[in-house]
Amino acid sequence: MKASVVAGSAVSVAMTLSVCLDARAAPRVEVLHWWTSQGEAAALATLRGAAQAEGLEWKEASIVGGGGEQAMRTLKARVDAGISPTAVQVMGLEVHEWAKRGVLTDLNELAAKEGWDKVVPPALQKFSKFNNKWVAVPVNVHSYNWVWASNAVLAKAGVAGEPKTWDQFVAAAEAAKRAGFVGLAHGGQPWQTAMVFDGVVLATGGADFYRKAFIERHPHTLSSPTMKKVFARMTQLRGLVDKDSEGRDWNFATAMVIGERAAFQIMGDFAKGEFLAAGKRPGKDFLCFRLPGSQGAVSFGLDNFAMFAVQGADAIGAQQRLAKVMLDKKFQSDFNVIKGSVPARMDVSDAAFDACGKRGIKELAEASRKNALVGTVVFGHAVAGPIKNSITEIVDQHFNGRMSDDDAVKAIAAALRRTNP
Position among 27, 138, 293, 301 found at the interface with ligand GAL (CB under 6 A): 301
Q: What character string, x for contact with ligand GAL (CB under 6 A) and - otherwise, covers 244-273?
A: ------x-------------------x---
Shortest Cβ 342–ligand GAL spacing (Å): 12
Position among 29, 30, 31, 40 found at the interface with ligand GAL (CB under 6 A): 40
**Residue nearer to ligand GAL on the CB measure, 143 or 224:** 143
Which segments within 8-86 are labelled E, that is strand?
28-33, 57-62
Shortest Cβ 186–ligand GAL spacing (Å): 14
Shortest Cβ 303–ligand GAL spacing (Å): 5
Report if residue 403 touches ligand GAL, rule: CB under 6 A: no
Q: Around Cβ 253, how many Cβ atoms within 10 Å?
A: 28
Report if residue 68 touches ligand GAL, rule: CB under 6 A: yes
- Could you tell me which residues come within 8 angstroms of residue 211 by beta carbon, excluding any fewer than 6 positions away? 374
Tell me which DSSP letter residue 144 carries. -
Report if residue 144 touches ligand GAL, rule: CB under 6 A: no
* CA separation for the pair 330, 328 (Å, rounded): 6
Report if residue 194 touches ligand GAL, rule: CB under 6 A: no
Residue 319 and residue 394 in contact, taking contact as beta carbons nearer than 8 Å = no
Report if residue 286 touches ligand GAL, rule: CB under 6 A: no
* CA separation for the pair 333, 243 (Å, rounded): 39
* CA separation for the pair 252, 189 (Å, rounded): 12
Q: Which of 347, 324, 336, 378 is nearest to 137 (CA)?
A: 324
Q: Which of 269, 263, 253 is nearest to 286 (CA)?
A: 263
Position among 94, 123, 128, 142 found at the interface with ligand GAL (CB under 6 A): 142
Q: Stretches 8-16, 65-73, 121-129, 182-190: which one binds ligand GAL (CB under 6 A)?
A: 65-73
Report if residue 146 touches ligand GAL, rule: CB under 6 A: no
Residue 278 and residue 68 in contact, taking contact as beta carbons nearer than 8 Å = no
Report if residue 67 touches ligand GAL, rule: CB under 6 A: yes
Site for ligand GAL in 352-391 (CB under 6 A): 379
Say how many Å lie between the first and final Cα of the chain, rounded: 77
Q: What character string, x for contact with ligand GAL (CB under 6 A) and - otherwise, covers 303-332?
A: x-----------------------------
Q: Which of 148, 147, 119 is nearest to 134 (CA)?
A: 119
CA pseudo-torsion sign 144, 150, 154, 157: negative
Residue whose beta carbon is closest to ligand GAL: 66
Shortest Cβ 35–ligand GAL spacing (Å): 5
Report if residue 91 touches ligand GAL, rule: CB under 6 A: yes
Q: Beta strands 298-307 and 373-375: pairing type? A: parallel
Report if residue 35 touches ligand GAL, rule: CB under 6 A: yes
Shortest Cβ 187–ligand GAL spacing (Å): 10
Q: Tell me how far CA of residue 347 lies from CA of 116, 173, 211, 217, 338, in angstroms.
A: 11, 38, 28, 34, 18
Please give the residue ranges that form the binding site for ligand GAL (CB under 6 A). 34-35, 40, 66-68, 91, 142, 250, 270, 301, 303, 379
